[in-house]
Amino acid sequence: MASTNPPDRHLVLIGVGPGIGRSVACLFASKRYNNVTLIARRAEQLKVEKAEVEATAKSQYIKVNTYAVDVADSAALVDALGNAEATFGKPECVYYNAARVVPSQLLTHDVREIEYDFKLTVSALYTTAQWAMPLLVELAKTDVSAKPTLVVTGGVLHVEPEPDLFSLSLVKAAQRNLVQSLALAYGSSGVRIGMILVAGTVGPDEKVRNPTNIAEEAWKWFSSDEESPFEVLI
Ligand SMILES: NC(=O)c1ccc[n+]([C@@H]2O[C@H](COP(=O)([O-])OP(=O)(O)OC[C@H]3O[C@@H](n4cnc5c(N)ncnc54)[C@H](OP(=O)(O)O)[C@@H]3O)[C@@H](O)[C@H]2O)c1
């Protein structure tokens, strides 16, 4: 009997790098996604991330497209998302992972840096949601086998701010609030919306908070047939 191609499924991962972003992209591609869009600023690094996903997915059907975009530039982000949709169709899973995890000292940090962090963490997620939500809602209505999802990586800084990371703490609080509003507004639409909260430093040698384990927890949350909790704490 002739084998049939798996259905096309499109993952959009915004903020891919060698940590959580890569592990999520690789795991989700190996489990479900043959069409993968990766977004980050550095074109050279995106080549590395694309090769990692292709090698891990080990599927003849895998296609990975990359867009070198600073998501704080909303026009460039809208262009990239439009191109991703034109190339691979509606996304099924949009994973928002971009953030600047760097120190910021209270009262000496330049206010423009705070504003940049807000754009990168909150405004760009808002722009992403404006594009993604109608597509995800439509997918929920038209494909019973689909798992339309918007998921965001967070931490605990939104409730436990650190003065040495105060800019990230501020914008992560706003981001958590935005995701919660989306979950409240779209709770009955069939779209899964939630956060993977990482309660500490991520590193390959961390026993629990290593990228592989975080991606596995994200996959468990995503793939569960039960009603998912809004957030998972790792
Ligand atoms: N690392 C931690 O200790 C830690 C702890 C708790 C929570 N988190 C959360 O985990 C997420 C990040 O995961 P990760 O730290 O493991 O990093 P990662 O997945 O290795 O990489 C994230 C990537 O986001 C991209 N990015 C940053 N700013 C961007 C921008 N303006 N436009 C487009 N892409 C951008 C960067 O690539 P380019 O430089 O190429 O743009 C970066 O490599 C964040 O949401 C963070 O808040 C991290």
pLDDT, one tens digit per residue, over 100-110 is 999 999 999 99
114: how many CB neighbours lie within 10 A of its CB?
16
Mean pLDDT of 5-9: 82
Supply the pLDDT for residue 190: 96
Taking the C-alpha atoms of residue 10 and residue 37, their distance in angstroms, rounded to an integer, is 8
pLDDT at residue 210 is higher than 90: yes
* pLDDT-above-70 percentage for the chain: 98
pLDDT at residue 97 is higher than 70: yes
pLDDT at residue 1 is higher than 60: no
pLDDT at residue 4 is higher than 70: no
Mean pLDDT of 113-124: 98
pLDDT at residue 168 is higher than 80: yes
Q: Which residues contact 80 (CB under 8 A, 6 or more apart)?
A: 39, 67, 69
Q: Report the nearest-CA residue for atom 29 of ligand 1.
A: 98
> How confident is residue 3, by pLDDT bands cut at 50, 70 and 90?
low
**For ligand 1, is residue 24 a contact (CB within 6 Å)?**
no
- Of the CA atoms within 13 Å of residue 202, those in its CB half-sphere come to 22
Q: 20 C-alpha vs ligand 1 centroid, how far in Å?
A: 8
Q: 85 C-alpha vs ligand 1 centroid, how far in Å?
A: 23
Distance from chain centroid for Cα 224: 18
Q: Which residues of 206-217 are buried (b: 16+ CB within 10 A; e: fewer)?
A: eeebbbeebbeb
Q: Report the nearest-CA residue for atom 34 of ligand 1.
A: 40
The length of the chain, given as a count of residues: 234
Q: 100 C-alpha vs ligand 1 centroid, how far in Å?
A: 6
Domains of the chain: 10-233 (3.40.50.720)
> How confident is residue 73, by pLDDT bands cut at 50, 70 and 90?
very high
> How confident is residue 60, by pLDDT bands cut at 50, 70 and 90?
confident
Q: Report the nearest-CA residue for atom 41 of ligand 1.
A: 41
Mean pLDDT of 147-164: 97
Supply the pLDDT for residue 227: 85
pLDDT in tens, 8-39: 999 999 999 999 999 999 999 999 999 999 99
| Integer angstrom CA distances of residue 5 from 8, 61, 69, 107 | 8, 8, 32, 57
Q: 9 C-alpha vs ligand 1 centroid, how far in Å?
A: 24
**For ligand 1, is residue 15 a contact (CB within 6 Å)?**
yes
Taking the C-alpha atoms of residue 104 and residue 75, their distance in angstroms, rounded to an integer, is 27
pLDDT in tens, 129-140: 999 999 999 999
